[in-house]
Chains A and B, each alone.
Chain A
Amino acid sequence: MTDLTLTELAAAIAARKVSAVEATGACLDRIARLDGRLRAFITLDADRALARARALDADLAAGRRQGPLHGVPLAYKDLCHVRGLPTSCGTKTAEYFTSELECTAVARLSAAGAVTLGKLNMSELALGPFGDNPHHGDAGNPYKPGHVAGGSSSGSGVAVAARLAFGALGSDTGGSIRLPAACCGIVGIKPTYGRVSRAGAMPLSWSLDHLGPLARSVRDGALMLEVVAGADPHDATSSPRPVGALVAGLERSPSELRVGLPENYYFDGVLPEVRAAVEGAARTLASLGASVRTLRLPDPAVLVDVASILTRSESAAIHARVARERPDELGAAVRSRLEVGFHISAHDYLQAGRLRARLTREFVAEVFEEVDAVLAPTIPEPAPALADVTGGSVDEIVRRMGRFSRLTRPFNVLGLPVVALPCGFSADGRPLSMQIAGRPFDEATVLRLAHACEQAGGRPTRPPALD
């Protein structure tokens, strides 16, 4: 049963072929069997999940379906506040983040009928692209033991890929949804800035934070996004723009769409097998009728520097207390990254914010005049060995972090919607991934292109061999 997609499970439950209790029990059994080595969960809420599943089954028997996710077991990155559960944010402190409000995205998924399995592992304070964690254990790559799961939403990537949950929420400040999706061979969606409320989730950088789904198919991710997106009075940055019918639009042909492959930056230093896989996806889209061309993007390297100034300033301000009062509780790399933020001047921070506005306006005007979406690799290499990225000096580790997230970070500065999705496997069985970015608030187009690629490639992902 756990090999069903979220969409398939929701349909099976609605048709009363499967119960919510059976689906939840199947996930809990799998978690009991596998999570000792995968370390996807920080907090498991088994009793409440089963109680909720029983209540949902009773509702359905009485003719009441809560919504499109009725009875579907999900799990959430441990920076989303869920009523009754602690929120460690990957730190040593069990209740590092508290909120009077439940995370809006979680509340919307629950209102749509989802069952909460628990809270998922993550990089400490969401500051790390590899998914290692000194307090809760390193999340394990389901496809390749000893290799990174990707971060910072590491547990979200692992839980979904390993069939411990049917979908998950993550957060993405510099790639933290897309990197674990890429390493774990699943779909991750970073929506447009403002599309999904961040209320009730730990902030890392209010200018660059996004919440979004990780799922095993584009359709699953689109369904989750449809549920969580939209204006929220608790998040002043959330957009009132209508979300639209994302799932219903997936089957539209991509034939009139124009797709651009970057000539600069995005393929620099990328492994040949990654490049070949992304170019293969471009050929697939062309065979489906899309117009594919190469184009030169406004320099993404500047965007990465803007991202660094904004993230480091804001994260140092937000997490100043732990950094100042309990620095020994933090891992060395996290401490080092926060420390940089204390040295950035107000002048540089404001210039970065002003520059971001201009660069976004220019990018949108120049690039989307030529194409409807940009297709690029998500990560420059498939999930590296954990030992290779966590060894050496703090300075070396921080620089490796920057290299690994260099392809995702520009899109956080630009605030554009991006879908990361699998595009094959390396010769030794590690997932390869590409990302498709589109116009602001045009999630529909990037999801449509991603769905077309996925369908042309057959089954969304090859399940990891864990049993």
Chain B
Amino acid sequence: MIQSDSAGHRQAQGDVAALAGTIERAAGDLALAEEPSNFARALDAGAPRD
């Protein structure tokens, strides 16, 4: 962990809490089978048909 002043530390934790809240709400109904590697599959599936 970076040793910084306590105000900076609190700010970082506050920023993370806000981000995490948004992600948690949006991710609430993700399918069990969803995984990060599906991103690459989404790109491939969306490419123009050659």
Residue of A at shortest CB range from B2?
A339
Across the interface, do A355 and B12 meet the contact criterion of CB distance under 8 Å?
no
Interchain nearest-CB distance for A398 vs B (Å): 8
Q: Which of B15, B20, B31, B47 contacts A441 (CB 8 A)?
A: B47
Residue of B at shortest CB range from A324?
B2
Interchain nearest-CB distance for A379 vs B (Å): 23
Q: Chain B residues with Cβ under 8 A from A257's Cβ?
A: none
Across the interface, do A348 and B24 meet the contact criterion of CB distance under 8 Å?
yes
CA distance A233 to B44 in the complex (A): 19
Q: Chain B residues with Cβ under 8 A from A192's Cβ?
A: 43
Q: Is A336 an interface residue (CB 8 A)?
A: yes
Q: Chain B residues with Cβ under 8 A from A350's Cβ?
A: 36
Across the interface, do B47 and A439 meet the contact criterion of CB distance under 8 Å?
yes
Across the interface, do A340 and B16 meet the contact criterion of CB distance under 8 Å?
yes
Q: Which of A207, A242, A365 contacts B46 (CB 8 A)?
A: A365
Across the interface, do B22 and A302 meet the contact criterion of CB distance under 8 Å?
yes
Residues of B1-50 contacting chain A, CB below 8 A? 1-4, 8-9, 11-13, 15-16, 19-20, 22-24, 26-27, 30-31, 34-48, 50
Across the interface, do B46 and A440 meet the contact criterion of CB distance under 8 Å?
yes
Q: Chain B residues with Cβ under 8 A from A327's Cβ?
A: 2-4
Q: Which of A302, A365, A445 contacts B26 (CB 8 A)?
A: A302
Q: Is A335 an interface residue (CB 8 A)?
A: yes
Across the interface, do B46 and A368 meet the contact criterion of CB distance under 8 Å?
yes
Q: Chain B residues with Cβ under 8 A from A361's Cβ?
A: 38, 41-42, 45-46
Q: Given A442-B47, A442-B48, are A306 and B4 also a contact pair (CB < 8 Å)?
A: no
Q: Is A230 an interface residue (CB 8 A)?
A: no
Contact with B along A316-353 (1 / 0, CB 8 A): 00000001100100000001101110111100101111
Across the interface, do B12 and A354 meet the contact criterion of CB distance under 8 Å?
no
Q: Given A342-B1, A343-B12, A368-B46, are A358 and B40 also a contact pair (CB < 8 Å)?
A: no
Residues of A354-370 contacting chain B, CB below 8 A? 354-358, 360-361, 364-365, 368
Q: Given A352-B23, A441-B47, are A335 and B2 also a contact pair (CB < 8 Å)?
A: yes
Known: A339-B4, A353-B36, A357-B34. 16 other contacts (CB 8 A): A242-B50, A302-B22, A306-B23, A335-B2, A336-B12, A340-B15, A342-B1, A343-B12, A348-B16, A348-B23, A356-B39, A360-B43, A364-B42, A364-B46, A440-B44, A441-B43
Closest 5 pairs (CB-CB, A-B): A353-B36, A364-B46, A357-B38, A440-B43, A361-B42
30 intermolecular pairs with C-beta atoms under 8 Å apart = A194-B40, A207-B36, A237-B40, A239-B44, A241-B44, A302-B22, A305-B26, A308-B19, A327-B4, A339-B8, A339-B12, A340-B16, A342-B2, A351-B23, A351-B24, A353-B39, A354-B30, A354-B34, A354-B35, A357-B35, A357-B37, A357-B39, A361-B38, A361-B41, A361-B45, A364-B43, A364-B45, A364-B46, A368-B46, A442-B48
